[in-house]
Amino acid sequence: MKKMNGILLLVLSAVLLLSACGQSKEAASSAGSTTVRIGLLKNVTHAPAFIALQNNYFQQQFGSNTKIEVTAFDNGADFATAIATNQIDLGYVGPGPVINQYLKSKNIKLIAGANNGGAVLVVRKDAGIQSVKDLVGKTVAVAAKGGTPDLSLRLLLQQQGLKVSMDTSGVQIVTRAPADTLVAMRQKEIDATLIAEPWGTQIIQEGSGTILVDWNKIPPKDGNYPLTVLVASDAFLKEHRDLAKKAVQANKQSIAFIQQNPEKAYPLISDELKQLTGKGMEPALIKAALDHLKLTEDITLEDIKEQAKASFDAGYLKVKEDELDFSSFLDLTLLNEVKKEK
């Protein structure tokens, strides 16, 4: 009996040892896992992000031991607040909101471009507008104050010697969400809009407006200005620089895929939009949006300075002009490394 008890004790010890080893490995695996929280906007101009998710470029780059959480925002201001307060790690946004947030918190880095341009100036067919100068006394809608289309509109008016005003002596600028802009144009509540695609094409297709200034004539730089960029928090870059670099690589892959396989990209972009908003988009509209922008991972400090100056002149940046220093905001070291490795 004693011998039998000894054998049982040995077996039990072995089972407990194997169980402990298994738990130890599982704990080690769990301890080594990472969650990357990606933010983006529910807009087709964020196509590189959509393709990176649909084609699993992020997951392939990060590895199977990394979990991805996606948060979709309605506007860039909410995105900028989220990344500054550590609610997300990296993601896609327009430069305007993060420029503003950077000046407040100094804890965000712009690490790559995604696309340039992508907005058009559409006028109501019966508004009697034949040129930009005809906008005097008219009401023009933009999606948000301080957003890239708003800044582009102000630069366009400035080029034509026009002023922004609250009365008919100048051009009145109002804010409308893109979907509301379509209705406002149809009901003659506004006379024009500088709006990102595909909303401009939708207005034209329904017959209520025409393009007055196409995307490749919109300032600054005739449409070659950053509309969507890839940013990361300082904390994420410090703790997971390797993963941030892989996000830059996934972004590059996505841009290349869209450029080389546009017909395959349209349904994928629509599928991601459907996941984010509950509604997809017709391929023709997605094509219109992508045809009216330049996909590129490249961006320069001059691009950022130009947009910041426009935002400052509009009164959106509450700092002194000599405080518009973005040398620490733009960090292209990861992008340059990715380019060298190709």
Domain limits, the chain: 34-117+225-341, 119-217
Per-residue pLDDT tens over the stretch 251-270: 999 999 999 999 999 999 99
CA distance 317 to 54: 36
Q: pTM here?
A: 0.86
Cα torsion 278, 266, 249, 26: sign: positive
Per-residue pLDDT tens over the stretch 179-218: 899 999 999 999 999 999 889 999 999 999 999 999 999 9
Is the fold of 34-117+225-341 the same as that of 119-217?
A: yes
Only one residue has tokens 């841009």, namely 255
Q: How many other C-beta atoms are found inside a 10 Å radius of the C-beta of residue 44?
A: 24
In eight-state DSSP terms, residue 219 is: T
CA distance 235 to 149: 30
For residue 269, the SS3 value is helix
Q: Within the chain, which residues score under 70 in pLDDT?
A: 1-32, 342
In eight-state DSSP terms, residue 290 is: H
Q: What pLDDT does residue 146 have?
A: 87
Per-residue pLDDT tens over the stretch 111-125: 999 999 999 999 999
Write the CB contacts of 325 (distance below 8 Å, at least 6 apart in sequence): none
Domain 34-117+225-341 bears CATH identifier 3.40.190.10: yes
Strand bridging mode 108-117 / 293-295? antiparallel
CA distance 121 to 135: 11
User: Quick one: which H or E segment has residue 333?
Assistant: helix 333-341
Which CATH class, in words, describes the domain spanning 119-217? alpha beta
For residue 275, the SS3 value is helix
Are 130 and 120 within 8 A, CB to CB? Answer: no
User: Quick one: which H or E segment has residue 260?
Assistant: helix 241-260
Q: What pLDDT does residue 32 have?
A: 59
Spatial CA neighbour of 187 closest among 203, 170, 164: 203
CA distance 296 to 255: 7
Q: How many other C-beta atoms are found inside a 10 Å radius of the C-beta of residue 279?
A: 9
